[in-house]
Structure 1
Amino acid sequence: MCTTTTTTTTTTEAPEEILIPSLPNDVALQCLARVPRQYHSVLSAVSKPIRSLLSSPDFFADRSALNCTEHLLYLRIRTQDVQRHAVVGPKIYLLSDESGRKYTTEVWIFDCRFHKWERGPNMPTALKHTVGTVVLDGKIYVFGSLTSEGSWKDMFDTVAGRWEALSSPELTVYDKLVRGCGIRGGKVCVWVEGEELRFDPVTKTWEVFSLVLPEFSHKCEVNAVLCCCDDDIRTLKGFDERVGGGGGGFWKEIDLVNGGFSNDFSVVETVNVGGRLVILNSFLHDLSRYS
C-alpha cells in the first residue's frame, strides 16, 4: 500500500506598516500629505514607514489631489560645461550644450520627488551656444545664439516624450544675435537685435515686432510686465505694453525693496516665482539681503 502525503504551503502577506499609531493609514496619509515640504526632512526621521512614504508616488498623488503641492527654488552650481535647463512639473530637464569643448545632444531628467536621474530623448541637433529655454503648456522650446534659415531652435513635448519640428519666422535679416527668450501673453518670445519674435503655439505662427531692449540684460515677465535687469548700469526696468501712447508700451524703472543693488551683486538669473520676481546673485554668499 502506498501512502501519499500532500504538503500545502501558504504565503502570508506582511502586515501593513503603521504610519501613525491609533490612526488608520488612509487617515494618516491625509494628515501627512498636508505637511509643508520644508518639514519633510523632519518627518523622514520619525520612522522608516514615514520615510518610505515620503518618496512614494502615492504620496505625491495625494498631495496633488489635495492641492498641497509647492513651488521650490533650486539653485544649480555652475561648472565648466555649458548646459541649459528647463522645469516642467516636478522634473528638471538638463539639456547638454557644450561639454569638454564638444557639442552634445544629451538630455538628462531629474525627478525632484524621488531625487533620481534618468536619460531623456536626445535633441535632434546639437545647437551651438544655446541661449536659453522656455516652457509653455508642457513643451520645452530651446533656442540657439543666432537666428538662421536652418536649425536654431527645437521643441520637446514632455507629455508625448518626443522632439517636434518648429517652424521658422520670416526675417528680412538672418544671423542676428539672440539676446534671450521668455513667455509674454501666453506666447513664446525670442529677443534679437531690435526685434521681438513671438510664436503662437495654437496657430503655430510667428509675429515680428520692433522692441529695443537693454543690450545686456536678464529678462522675465511678471504679471504681464517684462522685467529687465541690467548688470552694467545696475538698474531694474519694466516694460508694460498695456500702457503708453498708442498702445506701444512704456518703460519704467522699478524700485527695489532694499534700495538697489550693492557693488558686489552680479545678476545671474531672474525668475518668476508665484508672481514675484526673484533675482539671483552669481555668488552664494550673503544672499539674505536680496530675498
Structure 2
Amino acid sequence: MSTSTSTSTATAATAQLIPSLPDDVALNCIARVPRWYHPTLSIVSRPIRSLLSSPLFFTTRSLLNSTQHFLYLTLRSHHNPSAWFTLYQNPNPTPTDLPPLLIPVPPIPAPSLGAAYAVLGSTIYVLGGSVNDVPSSHVWLLDCRFHTWQPGPPMRVAREFAAAGVVDGRVYVIGGCLVDSWARTEHWAEVLDPEKGRWEAVPSSALEVRGKWMHASAMIGGRVYAMADRGGVVFDPKTGVWEGVEKRLDLGWRGRACVVHGILYCYDYLGKIRGFDVKKRAWKELKGVEKGLPKFLCGATMANVGEKLVVLWEGKGNGKEIEIWCAEIEVEEKGDDGELWGNIDWSHKLLSVPKGSSIVNCLAVSL
C-alpha cells in the first residue's frame, strides 16, 4: 500500500463519528444524547465537536423528537443593559449532580429598553424597544442553535413596550406606538411571515388601548392577549376579530405571565401565584408551593418550559449584590372543582448580580 493511500485511509478512519459504525447510525445515536452532556461529548473528538454545531444535527434531533426545552434569560444592570444567558440542567438529576447552570450568550448587537419578545422555532425575535429614549423599528434574531445574532426585517413603525406572540408560524406585534399619524394608526398591529420576510398591517378597530403601552402578553388558545396598564385586547388571527379583555381577567393579571396546560399563571397583589382558566373564567390560587417559594411582592417572571411552570425572581443579597433565583414547578388540576396544585421539582440560586440589576424577560426555546 502506498504512503498516500495509507494516509487517506487513516484520515477517513479518524473522521468517523464513532469507529466501526456508519456515520448515519452514529448520528442517530448522538442526536439522542441530552444537551447537558454535549460539553463532554465535544471533547471526545473533532468530528463529534463539529457535528454538535451543525444544522444537520439539530434537524436530526427534531426528526427523532429528541429536542429539549431551554430557558433563555435577559438581565439588565447599570453596566450592561442586556445580558443574555441560557439555563442548562440535567434532565435526570441525582442528589450529587451540579445545580442548573446559567451559560452566557453573546450580547445583542444593539441593546434597547422596552423591547417585545417572541419565539418561533429555534429563533428568538427581539422587536423594537427604545435606544437613547427613541423608539426603534429594528428587529434582531437570536439563532439559539448556534447563539448567533442577525438583523431581521424591520417593522413598519417604531415601537417600545409592545405585545408580541406567534400563531401558525407568523409573528404578531401589537401596540407600543402612539397613533398620532396615519401610518402608525394603520400599522398599530403588524404581522411577519418569515418566508416572505416583510411586515404587513393587521386591520384593527378603534380600540381604547391604542394610546397605551403594553405591559404583558400571552398566547391562549391560538389568540394573542395584549395587556395595557388598564384594559387589554384579544386578537384571533384566524377570524381577524378583536375583542376587549374581560374585566375579571384584567383585574387579576399582574406582571409577566405564562400559559401552562391552557392556564394563565401570574402573581397576584398578595404576592401569590394564581392561574386563570379562560374556559371557566375564574382565578384560582396555585396551592402546594407556599412553603417553597417567597411571596412575589416585588414581582416574578414566568415561562412555560416543556409544560412546566418556571419562575424566576430577584432575592436579597449581601447589600452590594442581589440573587437571581429559579424554581421549576409541575402544575396540574385536581378534583371536580379543578383546583390548581403545584409540586416544586427544584429551586436554586442561579447567580449573584450587582445591586440594581433586574430580570428583563425569560423565554423557552426547543432545541
Q: Decide: shared fold, TM above 0.5.
A: yes
Q: Which residue of 1 aligns with 2:256?
A: 218
Q: For 1:70 and 1:98, how far apart are their aligned partners in 2?
A: 33
| 1:133 aligns with one of 160, 164, 174 | 164
Equivalent residue of 2:51, what SS? helix
Segment of structure 1 superposing worse, 257-266 or 84-93: 257-266
1:77 aligns with 2:72: no
Classify the secondary structure of the residue corresponding to 1:76: strand
State TM-score, norm by structure 2. Answer: 0.66
Which residue of the other structure, out of 228, 241, 254, is the alignment partner of 2:266?
228
1:122-166 deviation line (CA, Å, top 9, x unaligned): 111101x32432122222222334785814332222233221211
> What is the CA deviation profile of residues 11-31 of structure 1, one whole-angstrom value per residue up to 9, with x for unaligned ones?
x99747111111111111111
Match of 1:90 among 111, 122, 126: 122
Candidates 64, 67, 72, aligned match of 2:65:
67
8 Å Cα contact 2:165-2:172 kept in structure 1:
yes
Structural mapping, 1:202-213, within 5 Å? 202-211=238-247, 212-213=250-251
Shift in Å at residue 237 of structure 1? 1.7
Tell me what 1:241 maps to: 278
What is the root-mean-square deviation in Å for CA atoms of aligned residues?
2.8
1:169-222: CA deviation from partner (whole Å, max 9, x where unpaired): 343675355442211222112234664422111122212343232474322222
Q: 1:162 aligns with which of 174, 198, 220?
A: 198
The one-letter code of the counterpart of 1:238 is G
2:237 counterpart (201, 211, 227): 201
- Between structure 1 and structure 2, the one with the greater Rg is 1
SS at match of 1:34: coil
Note if contact 1:270-1:277 (Cα within 8 Å) is conserved in structure 2. yes
Per-residue deviation at 1:266?
4.0
* Distance in 2 between residues matched to 1:19 and 1:106, nearest whole Å: 41
Task: Tell me, in whole angstroms, the C-alpha distance in 1 between the residues paired with 2:143 and 2:212.
Answer: 36
SS at match of 1:267: coil
Tell me: CA distance 1:233–1:265, structure 2 relative to 1, closer, same or farther (3 Å). closer
Separation in 1, partners of 2:52, 2:236 = 39
Q: Which amino acid aligns with 2:310?
A: V
* 26-35 or 250-259: bigger deviation: 250-259
Equivalent position SS for 1:254:
strand
**Unmatched tracts of structure 2, length 5 or more:** 1-7, 82-111, 315-321, 328-345, 349-367
Q: Which structure's relative contact order is higher, taking Cα pairs within 8 Å and 6+ residues apart?
A: 2
> AA paired with 2:133?
R
Residues 59-80 of structure 1 show CA distances to partners (whole Å, capped at 9, x for unaligned) of 1111111111111111122243
TM-score (normalizing by structure 1): 0.81
Cα distance between partner residues in 2 of 1:76 and 1:130: 16
Q: 1:123 and 1:115 mapped to 2: Cα distance? A: 23
The answer to whether 1:280 aligns with 2:316 is: no
Contact 2:161 2:213 in 1 (8 A): no
For 2:275, the aligned partner's letter is G
Contact 2:188 2:210 (8 Å CA) reproduced: no
2:66 counterpart SS class: coil
Would the alpha carbon gap of residues 269 and 169 (structure 1) be closer, same or farther in structure 2, given more than 3 Å must change? Answer: farther
Mark the CA change 1:115 to 1:191 in structure 2 (over 3 Å): closer, same or farther. Answer: closer
8 A contact 1:44–1:50 mirrored in 2: yes
CA deviation after TM superposition for structure 1 residue 34, in Å:
0.9
Q: Percent identity?
A: 39
SS, match of residue 71 in structure 2: coil
Q: Partner amino acid for 1:37?
A: R
Aligned to 1:57: 55
Q: Cα 1:219–1:115, aligned 2, differ >3 Å: closer, same or farther?
A: closer
| Corresponding position: 1:25 with 2:27 | no
Q: Distance in 1 between matches of 2:37 and 2:297?
A: 31
Structure having the larger proportion of residues in strand: 2
Residue correspondence of structure 1 range 183-194 to structure 2 within 5 A? 183-192=219-228
In the alignment, the residues of structure 2 paired with residue 19 and residue 124 of structure 1 have an alpha-carbon distance, to the nearest angstrom, of: 47
What is the aligned length? 273
